[in-house]
Chain A
Amino acid sequence: MRTSGARGTQLANLGLVLGVLAGISMAIGLYLGLVYAPMDAVQGNAQRIFYIHVPMAWVAFLAFFVVFVAGIMYLWKRELIWDQVARSSAEIGLVFTTLVLVTGSFWGRPIWGTWWTWDARLTTTLLLWFIFLGYFMIRAYAGDRGRAATFSAVIGIIGFFDVPIIYLSVNWWRTLHPQAVITLSGAAMPGQMVWALMVCLLGFTLLYAYLMVQKLAIEQAKDKLIDYQFALSEREAEGVTAA
C-alpha cells in the first residue's frame, strides 16, 4: 500500500522529470526555430516568432479545454479536486493567452504595420482573455468556496466555446491573420520549419504539464491550510466556551 508521503514524493519526482524534459525540448526547439529553420523570404526574422506564438496558443487552448472538462466534472461530482484542477489550468491558460496576444502584436507590427487590429481572430482571442479574467474576478468576489467553484465552473464551460470560434475565425471571416499552415492534408511550409514547430509544441506542452503539477500542488495545499485554520479556530472557540 502506498503511503501519502510516497505519493507526495512521486508527484515531486514527476514535476522534476517534466521540468527537465520541458527545459531540454524547449532548448532544442529554440535552436531549431532560431538557427536550423530557414528565414522566411517575405517576413524575415519576425516570422520566427511563430515558433513560440503557435505553441503558446496551443497550450492556452489545451489549458481551457482542461478547465472545460474539470468544470463539467465539478458540477457533476461536486468534488473539490476538479475545482482545483480547473483553477490551476485557468491561471496557466490566462498567462499563455496574454503571451499569445503580446507576441502576436510583435509579429503583426512589422508585417501588418500595426500593433493591433480588430481582426476576427485577434478580437475573439482578446474576448477569451477577458472571459478568463472574469473567471478569476468571479472567484474573488463569490466569497464562499463552493459558490466560487460553481460560478467559475459555469464560466469556464461557457468560455471554452470561444476556443473553436477562435480556431475557425480565419475560415469564417476575411482576416489579416494567416490561415492554418498545418492541416490534415499537409504542411504549407518547408520541412525544417515543421520540425522546429513540432519540437517547440512538445516543449511548451511539457511546460504546461510541469506548471500544472506545481500549481495543483499549491492549490491543494492552500485548501488544506484553509480547512485546518477553520478547524483550529473552531476548536479555540470551543475552548473559550468551555472555559
Chain B
Amino acid sequence: MSNLNYLFAAFLITWIVISAYLWMLGRQVQNLKDEVDSLTEGSELSPDRPTGTTSLPDADGHPIRQH
C-alpha cells in the first residue's frame, strides 16, 4: 500500500494555499501603497502645492516630511 497520490494531493494543496496566502498579503501591501499614493496626489501633498510638513503618517504614525 503506497498511497502516493494522497500524499501528493495533500502537499500540493498545502503549498497552493500557502502560496496564495503569501500572494494575497503582497496584494494587500500593493493596495495600501496605491491608496497612500492616491491620497498624496489628492491632498496637500500634491507637488503643485508647496508645503513643509504634512500629516500623512509613515509606518509608525509620524508625519512624513516632504522635500
Contact = CB atoms under 8 A, between A and B. Distances in A.
Interface of A: 4-5, 7-8, 11, 42-46, 48-49, 52-53, 56, 95, 98-99, 102-103, 106-107, 109-110, 207, 211, 214-215, 217-218, 220-222, 224-225, 227-229, 231-232
Contacts of B10: 49, 52-53, 102-103, 106-107
A105 B54 CA distance: 54
Given A49-B6, A49-B7, A218-B29, A44 B1 contact: yes
Contacts of A46: 3, 6-7
Q: Find the residue from A4, A7, A109 having the highest chain B CB count within 10 A.
A: A4
A224 B56 CA distance: 9
Contacts, number: 99
Given A4-B62, A98-B17, A222-B32, A228 B55 contact: yes
A142 B35 CA distance: 24
A56 B60 contact: no
A218 B32 contact: yes
Given A218-B28, A224-B57, A225-B36, A103 B13 contact: yes
Nearest to A6: B60
A215 B25 contact: yes
A211 B25 contact: yes
Contacts of B7: 45-46, 48-49, 106
B60 A4 contact: yes
Contacts of A107: 6, 10
A53 B13 CA distance: 12
Contact of A45 (B4, B13, B57): B4
Contacts of A5: 58-59
B14 interface: yes
Contact of A228 (B11, B14, B39): B39
B3 A102 contact: no
18 contacts: A4-B62, A8-B60, A43-B1, A45-B6, A45-B7, A49-B10, A52-B11, A95-B18, A95-B21, A99-B18, A102-B14, A103-B14, A110-B3, A211-B21, A218-B25, A224-B59, A225-B32, A227-B57
Which 7 interchain pairs have the tightest Cβ spacing? A4-B60, A46-B3, A106-B10, A44-B1, A8-B59, A110-B3, A44-B3
Nearest to B17: A99
A102 B14 CA distance: 8
Contacts of A8: 58-60
Nearest to A210: B22
A7 B59 CA distance: 9
Contacts of B53: none
Contact of B3 (A7, A43, A98, A225): A43
A43 B17 CA distance: 25
B55 A45 contact: no
Given A42-B1, A103-B13, A218-B28, 16 more contacts: A4-B59, A4-B60, A4-B62, A5-B58, A46-B3, A48-B7, A52-B10, A53-B10, A106-B7, A110-B3, A221-B29, A221-B32, A224-B57, A224-B61, A228-B56, A231-B55
